Amino acid sequence: MAKIMDASAVINAYSLEEKEEMYTSPSVINELKNLASKLLAESAITEGKLKIVNPKDKHIERVKEKAREVGSDKHLSETDIDIIALALEKKGKLLTDDYTMQNLSAHLGIKYEGITRGEIKNKRKFKKN
C-alpha cells in the first residue's frame, strides 16, 4: 500500500527506509523550513524513495466537499487538502499527526497512521458556526 506523507512524516523521516511507494505533494516540500528536513526530503527524492505528485482536481474537490460536510473545512490548509486528496487518489495510507486530517480521512475511508502523537479514537463531525 502506498504511503502518503505530510510534513510531520517527512520531518521525522518516518518510513523513508521502507520498500513501499511513498508520495507527498509539492506543497508539503514547500512547507519544509529547516535545512535537515529539506536535505532529507531531497535525498529521498533523488534516491527514488519519495515521489512528488499533485493530486487530481476531482480528488481535491471530493476532499473539500467532505470537509464542508464534516465541518472541518475551516481547519484545513490547502496543503492538508492536497495530501488527503493524494491519499484518496493513490488509495494509500496517510501518515500524519494532524487529528483534523485523520478525522477527515476516516470519513473518506482513507487509512491513516500517526507519526509521534498517535491516532484519533473516533471520527466525529464538527458543529457549523
Could you tell me the pTM of the whole model? 0.91
Task: Report which of 24, 4, 7 is spatially closest to residue 112, judged by C-alpha positions.
Answer: 4
Q: 112: part of which helix (H) or strand (E)?
A: strand 111-113
List the domains of the chain with CATH numbers. 3-113 (3.40.50.1010)
Residues near 49 by Cβ (< 8 Å), separated by ≥ 6? 16, 17, 22
Written as one letter, the residue type at 37 is S
Q: 10: part of which helix (H) or strand (E)?
A: helix 7-11
pLDDT at res. 105: 97
pLDDT at res. 118: 82
Task: Report which of 11, 2, 30, 31 is spatially closest to residue 112, judged by C-alpha positions.
Answer: 2
Low-confidence ranges of the chain (pLDDT < 70): 14-18, 127-129
Hey, what long-range contacts does 97-102 have (CB within 8 A, 24 or more apart)?
A: 97/6, 97/8, 98/6, 98/8, 100/72, 100/75, 100/76, 101/6, 101/76
**Residue length, the chain?**
129
Edge-first strand listing for the sheet containing 111-113 = 50-52, 22-24, 3-5, 93-95, 111-113
